[in-house]
Structure 1
Amino acid sequence: MCYQTKITKQKEEIAERFNAEVTDLNTYQPQEFCSAFEHPKTPVITHEAPNKVQLFHWGLIPSWSEDNSIRNYTLNARIETLAEKKSFKDVIQNRCLIIADGFYEWQWRNKNGSKKEKYLITLPSQELFSFAGIYTQWTDFNNDIINSYSIITTQANELMSEIHNTKQRMPIILKKQDEQHWLQGENYKDFKFPYSCNLIATSLENTTGQLGLF
């Protein structure tokens, strides 16, 4: 799964990497640690506005939801069951890129999880990338529109199986050349495991230690 990310690049770097406008990022602040359960607003690019970077909330709120409490359960969406889950099945084509430069995962060091080791997962040189995501709009009781998203997850690759060694899941990190394919609505099943890109895992308990490149 994926519940902690980081986005530490300046908005100008985001604009250059994704060839997109950042005029809607007036309140954007780089963050070393984004916790999903705080429902932060982070940079995304949607299929409806592919040349614009916007800030959406983490935790998808379906348009039919009576309140926003459901967002605690829609932080991630399993790619294998997208078409089955009520929260996701009607918005599969609402595609977005969720921009980041890293995410965190904890490796269980014993059977009950009382000992864990924290890892930072990045691309080489900690460059910007995007998670595959879906999004929606929800109108609250003040008639304000809330834009929100869910990160798509899949079966862990070899590296992430070693780190996320309990549930063995990972977010889908799109290859740069496939970002537009995702936005343009290509079959989502084409992006599940073994779809992967190069990742580096760095232990934050022992900053000299790294797990391999896959």
Structure 2
Amino acid sequence: MCANFKPLTLDQIRDLNLPDIPFEYPDEVYPNYELPLLFKSDQGLEWRKVHFGLIPKWAEDKNIALKTYNARNETLLQKPSFSEAIMKCKFGVIPVNEFYESKYFDSKPQRWGVRRKDGNAIYIAALYEIARLGDEIVRSATMITMDAIDHPMMKEFHEPGSVKRSVIVIPHERLDEWLGWNSPDIHSFVEGFPEAEFECSHVPKAIIRKTSPQLNFFD
């Protein structure tokens, strides 16, 4: 599953001829952070700032996003958190520069980054929702995932065992088709991304060192 990624860059927006994003967003995203979601309205492609983790209309608060940032494509219709959104075909993509997964060595996880070799953004299939929490309108989205036990790259991630998952990557040439899809049956989009077009490497988290009070004593 994917719980951490870097959204697309300004250069990637220009290279893909996408509309400018009219709001700020963080350089790196975790569950319940806000991020840019791309979807299609009657006016064409549009961006919305959404929470990472789908917040259904019946939710009492935003904390549910900490559990709903990934959604298995196999059970979208059965899970109460996602069933209404999938029935209404609320499809979008979360464009990312790089996403992170855990790779285990001697039972210890390392953070590895997955990215396209050509430097373009990755379109990750997403399902979005709009809910009202009290007086606040909340927009949110989840990444749709698939079984990856046979994928040459993605099967190497996550804890050792028989359960391996991957985000669903929408090919650039199918973006318009996905954003306009009007059926809850998304089987034709459930396929592993072509490994030859992607690369991965160890990307340790940046260590933010706290300044010692003693070092600043004479400042």
Q: Give TM-score scaled by structure 1 length.
A: 0.82
Identity %: 24
**Which residues of structure 1 form unaligned runs of 5+?**
206-214
Alignment of 1:83-122 (within 5 A): 83-92=77-86, 93-110=89-106, 113=107, 115-122=108-115
Specify which of 65, 74, 81 is matched with residue 80 of structure 1. Answer: 74
Could you list the per-position Cα deviations for residues 9-54 of structure 1 after superposition, in whole angstroms to 9, with x for gaps in the alignment?
12x642551x4432532x235x1x3222xx1211111233642222
Query: What corresponds to 1:71 in structure 2?
Result: 65
| Match in the other structure for 2:138 | 146
Which protein is bigger by CA-based radius of gyration? 2
Verify the 8 A CA contact 1:119 1:203 in the aligned structure 2. yes
**Structural RMSD (CA):** 2.0
Specify which of 122, 126, 129 is matched with residue 119 of structure 2.
126
The whole-number CA distance in structure 1 between the counterparts of 2:141 and 2:14 is: 20
Whole-angstrom CA distance in 1 between matches of 2:44 and 2:57? 22
**Residue type at the aligned position of 1:4:** N
Matches of 2:74 and 2:12, distance apart in 1: 33
SS in 1 for 2:153: helix
2:8–2:95 contact (8 Å) kept in structure 1: no
Counterpart residue type for residue 4 of structure 2: Q
**1:82-141: per-residue Cα shift (whole Å, max 9, x none)?**
11111111111100111111101111113xx3x222211001133212100000011122
- The count of aligned residue pairs is 193
Letter in 2 for 1:154: M
> How far apart, CA to CA, are the structure 1 residues paired with 2:21 and 2:30?
25
8 A Cα contact 1:20 1:50, kept in partner? no
Do the aligned partners of residues 127 and 155 (structure 1) sit closer, same or farther apart at CA in structure 2, a change above 3 Å counting? same
Distance 1:97 1:8 in 2: 12
Going from structure 1 to structure 2, the CA distance change for 1:122 and 1:15 (only over 3 Å counts) comes to same
**CA-to-aligned-CA distance 1:37-84 (integer Å, 9 cap, x gap):** xx1211111233642222211011011222222211111000111111
**Could you tell me which residue of structure 2 aligns to residue 21 of structure 1?**
19
In structure 2, what residue type is equivalent to 1:190? S
AA matched with 2:136? D
